[in-house]
Amino acid sequence: MTKQDYVDMTFEESMYYLDKRERFASRLGLDKLREVLELLGNPDKGISTIHIAGTNGKGSTCAYISYILAEAGYKVGLYSSPYVYEYGERIRVLDGHDQAKTWRTRPEASYINEEETTRYLNRIRRSIESVGYDKEHHPNHFEMLTLMAFLFYREHECDVLVLETGLGGRLDATNVIDPPEVATITAIGLDHTQRLGNTYVEIAGEKAGILKKGTQSLVLYDQYDAIKDHVAAADVEALFRHKAEDLDIRFCPVRKNQVIPLSHDLEGQTFELSTGPLKEEKLQTKLLARYEIYNAQLAIETVLAFKKDIEKDAIIKGLYYCYWPGRLERLTLNPSAFLDGGHNPQGTRALRESLDYLFPPASCPGHREVHLVCMMKDKDAKTMFQNMLKGGRVSHLVLSRVAGIKRAMEPEDMAGIVEEIEVDLLSEENYPEIHIVPDYEEALVEAWHLAQADQAIIMAWGSFYQAERFRDKMRALASGQNKED
């Protein structure tokens, strides 16, 4: 197709064009991606950047940072993945210049819209075709999103970008940027091992690839909390420390014991910090998962590394108004339906701890749970089920499948894994009743009725692919029940 006969795509055509691309298999490499950015006018240049990598906790840490900076008056470009409910969640602008502070009550107002998505993808496609990249060397799905994000942030004249890596760090598309002001590494865990390495240190080495000469600070999550093997945790922290020293980057590790939990319920959590400028300030987040107060600590340290004299009020309000969907998110009442994207051993371990934190075994001895699970074949399903079934509080397991995804694990295979591990993990009276329901819509209804009959909560986990359907169906069922009442 020549430039003269190029016909602009519609939104539907542009989304089809984007979705045809492989998700992460890079066809270009960072040097070629920089060439495309140059053709687009280098929209990534000249904007202050905070770059976040890690295995777990990246998204909520990015969200906290963005809300705090927006409260402080910055126009913030937030790039995160995956989306939970709407595609536009991935590319957002929280406008701190907006006196109405719209992002507090209407997060969707900050999302990239269909017109912008179409316009940017048409522009990117023209640039790619102008240099003759064939199908084999075409940017992948994530690279296309990253290019689109930079165009969006440039057009909206952002003051600062908060960029979450998609996979790894060293070769991640977001790593085309110049040295960020601050690099933040969240909890390191064993995930995507087929691409990133089989050990904590190997994976940490890939994440450390976002560190560059000229970066001011590296803020590091407490790896002794993230990694239960303290020898491995020490090795991971040493790797980051030495890389920072080699690049003359200030090394700022945070410690979990500096966070003092105060209270928690189904409305949120309060906590204090034992050090720093917010020492003994009462801080509040609406995010329910136990680990979110530690991600908040990491976000605070990142913001202070970026701007030492940021207002306390901006931090307090940013934490309070922060919205981050799909992480132990409560969607309905009676029964309570929760959604979490936990899809690796570390994430499911944290989810189990958070559920037991919200519903303590000592004070909620009759607490029961119906779990609705879909997951991918390449996940450590055995460890994930061991984590979630621990304590014997799961009365029913509804196992289903993500339709249309080749990587999706079959529910029968999940059932086989559960039957293998429950013998050693639980007493027979605590075995969960297994329901194999391949059709996800039917699985949703099954989980709802089981929870009602068992006076249990519903907990969906294992994948984000069905999040929107889960949310909409649970709310529809709850609405129908209220009408009947």
Q: Is residue 5 part of a domain?
A: no
Of 295, 321, 347, the residue that ends a domain is: 321
185 lies in the same domain as 144:
yes
How many domains does the chain fold into? 2
Q: Which of 267, 298, 321 is the last residue of a domain?
A: 321
Q: What is the CATH number of the domain that holds 74?
A: 3.40.1190.10
Q: Which residues contact 428 (CB under 8 A, 6 or more apart)?
A: none
pLDDT in tens, the chain (485 residues): 444 456 899 999 998 888 887 765 555 578 888 989 999 999 999 999 999 999 989 999 999 999 999 999 999 999 998 889 988 999 999 999 999 999 999 999 999 999 999 999 999 998 888 877 666 667 888 999 999 999 999 999 999 999 999 988 898 999 999 999 999 999 998 866 666 777 999 999 999 999 999 999 999 999 999 998 999 999 999 999 999 999 999 999 999 999 999 999 999 999 999 999 999 899 999 999 999 999 999 999 999 999 999 999 999 999 999 999 999 999 999 899 999 988 888 889 999 999 999 999 999 988 999 999 999 998 999 999 999 999 999 999 999 998 888 889 999 999 999 999 999 999 999 999 999 999 999 999 999 999 999 999 999 999 988 999 999 999 999 988 755 54
Distance, in Å, from the CA atom of 56 to the CA atom of 353, rounded to the nearest integer, reads: 15
Q: Is the preceding omega at residue 345 within 30 degrees of 0, hence cis?
A: no
In a shared domain, residues 64 and 128: yes
b (16+ CB within 10 A) / e for 144-172: bbbbbbbbbbbeeebbbbbbbbbbbbbbb
Q: Which DSSP string corresponds to 29-58? A: HHHHHHHHHHHTT-TTTTSEEEEEE-SBSH
Q: Of 190, 201, 229, nearest to 379 (Cα)?
A: 190
- Clarify whether residues 381 and 289 are in a common domain: no
Q: 388 and 287 share a domain?
A: no
Verify that 91 and 215 share a domain, yes or no. yes
278 assigned to some structural domain: yes
Residue 161, phi then psi, degrees to nearest 5:
-110, 140
Q: Which of 321, 356, 391 is the last residue of a domain?
A: 321
Alpha-carbon Rg for the chain, nearest whole angstrom, is: 22
**CATH number for the domain harbouring residue 450:** 3.90.190.20
In angstroms, the CA 259 to CA 281 distance is: 11
Beta strands 433-436 and 48-53, pairing class: unpaired
Beta-carbon neighbour count of residue 193 at 10 Å? 14
Is 2 within the bounds of a domain? no
Are 103 and 20 found together in one domain? yes
Within-domain flag for 4? no
Same domain, 411 and 280: no
Please provide the DSSP assignment of 70-85 as one string. HHTT-EEEEE-S--SS
Q: Are residues 339 and 312 in the same domain?
A: no
Residues in a beta bridge with 183? 51, 218
Q: Are strands 250-253 and 259-265 parallel, antiparallel or unpaired?
A: unpaired
In terms of domains, do 310 and 366 share one?
no
- For residues 153 and 169, membership in a common domain is answered with yes
Q: Give the domain extent around 40.
A: 11-321
Residue 1 domain-assigned (yes or no):
no
- Return d(Cα 384, Cα 145) in angstroms, integer: 30
**Is residue 389 domain-resident?**
yes
Same domain, 351 and 275: no
On whether the CB atoms of residues 272 and 300 are closer than 8 A, the answer is: no
Identify whether residues 143 and 193 lie together within a single domain.
Answer: yes
Q: Residue 421: inside a domain, yes or no?
A: yes
